[in-house]
Amino acid sequence: MKSEKAEPARIVVLVSGSGSNMQVIAEACAKNEIDGDITAVISNRPDVMGLQKAKELGIATDVVDHTQFPTREEFDANLIRAIDEHTPDLIVLAGFMRILTSDFVRRYKGKMLNIHPSLLPKYKGLNTHQRALDAGDKEAGVTVHFVSEDLDGGANIIQAIVPVLDDDDEGTLRSRVQIQEHVIYPIAVKWFVEGRISLNKGDAYFDGQPLPDTGLKLTQ
C-alpha cells in the first residue's frame, strides 16, 4: 500500500469499551512507527472510555448506537455509512463487541482486522481467559486476524503466547495477555499499511508467503 501512494494509510478504528488497543495504535501512528493516521474512532456505545481517549488524542469520533436500530442489518448499514465517510484503507476492530452481518464483512474483506484474546482457533467468542483456566491450559495468548464471516474465524496474522501461572485468576491472566495485545496489534497494523500482509482466498500471506494457521508467533 505504501508504495502506491504518498499519503499515510487511513485507518478507522471501531471500539465498544476502554480503547486501550486503539490508543497504542494511535501512539504508534503519532510516532511514525506506523505510516498511518486514525481518521476516526467509531463506537456502538455512546459513553465509553475509548471515545474519550480518542477525543483527548484529537481524533474524530462518531457513535452508531446499536440500540437505536431494530435489526442488525440496519445497524450495519448505518455503521458502513459512518465508516465510508472516512474512506479508510484499513478497518481495525479493537474491542468492538458486535457480531457483524455477512454483507458488512464482505464489504471490507481483506482490509479489516480484529484482535481476540485467545490462541485462535481455541476459545472463539466470550470469556476466553476463564475458559483457558478451566481447561487447565499452560499457555494462553492473543491473536490478530483478518475478519471473515465466521466469528473469530478469519486467517490468523500474529499470535502472542503467555504462560498461565498456577495462581492465575481471570484478572491476572487478562492483564498478562493485554500487555501482549498492545505489542502485537500495532505490529499487525504496521505490516498491513506497509503492504506486507494480505488475504488471498481466505489465507493470510506475509511478504508473499502463506502464513501458518497460527499466524506468526511471539513467545514470551
Which residue ranges make up the site for ligand GRF (CB under 6 A)? 15, 17-21, 50, 94-95, 115-117, 142, 178, 181
Q: Residue 2 or residue 178: which is nearer to ligand GRF going by CB?
A: 178
DSSP string, 131-192: HHHHTT-SEEEEEEEE--SSTT-SPEEEEEEEEPPTT--HHHHHHHHHHHHHHHHHHHHHHH
Distance of closest approach, residue 179 Cβ to ligand GRF, in angstroms: 11
CB of 85 to ligand GRF, least distance (A): 22
Of 5 and 46, nearer to ligand GRF (C-beta) is 46
Strand runs labelled E in the chain: 9-15, 36-43, 61-63, 90-93, 112-116, 139-146, 156-163, 197-200, 203-206, 209-210, 216-219
The letter for the amino acid at 70 is P
Q: CB-side exposure of 169: number of CA atoms within 13 Å? A: 1
CB of 90 to ligand GRF, least distance (A): 16
The nearest distance, CB 121 to ligand GRF, in angstroms, is 15
Look up residue 137 and give its amino acid: D
C-beta of 65 vs 207, nearer to ligand GRF: 65
Does residue 129 carry a catalytic annotation?
Answer: no
Identified catalytic residue from 116, 129, 145, 182: 116
Considering the complex, state which of residue 9 and residue 13 has its C-beta at the smaller distance from ligand GRF. 13
Which residue carries 487447565 as its cell?
136
Active site residue ranges: 116
